[in-house]
Amino acid sequence: MIQEAIKYDVFQAIADPTRRNVLKLLASSDRPISNISEHFAISRTAVVKHLKILEQAELVSAQKKGREKIYTLHSERLKEIEDWLQYFHLFWDNKLAQLQSLVEDN
């Protein structure tokens, strides 16, 4: 029996604070695994596991350059999160407008 690889969605991928911090690092520039690992108090193996999840969610990609893998952020994948949050932004704007109306009427 062949086990199918788990595919993570964007929400699962950003659920972990370490992965969110990796994304922040990659937002400033592409980085090799050695540089990414330096920023965390966890093993390089643990960082690699986090990067694999981010790759499966298509938030990052890796390109082999010499002996290192260079990781690149794909920020367009974060649009899914922005779209989801937009609903709640509109929801709260509406609630605050209703509250303002109630306050001003009294």
Q: pLDDT per residue over 39-92, tens digit each?
A: 999 999 999 999 999 999 999 999 999 999 999 999 998 888 888 888 887 778
Nearest alpha carbon to residue 15 among 42, 43, 50: 50
Pair (18, 61) in one structural domain:
yes
Do 45 and 69 share a domain, yes or no?
yes
Phi first, then psi, for residue 49 (nearest 5°) are -60, -40
Where in the sequence is the domain holding 44, given as residue range(s)? 1-74
Residues 57, 85 within the same domain: no
Could you tell me if 58 and 21 lie in one domain?
A: yes
Say which residue, 98 or 12, is predicted with more confidence. Answer: 12
Mean pLDDT across the stretch 19-46? Answer: 96
Q: Do residues 86 and 101 share a domain? A: yes
The reply to whether 59 and 84 lie within a common domain is: no
- The total of structural domains in the chain comes to 2
Q: Are residues 70 and 22 in the same domain?
A: yes
Please indicate, yes or no, whether residues 67 and 87 belong to a single structural domain of this protein. no
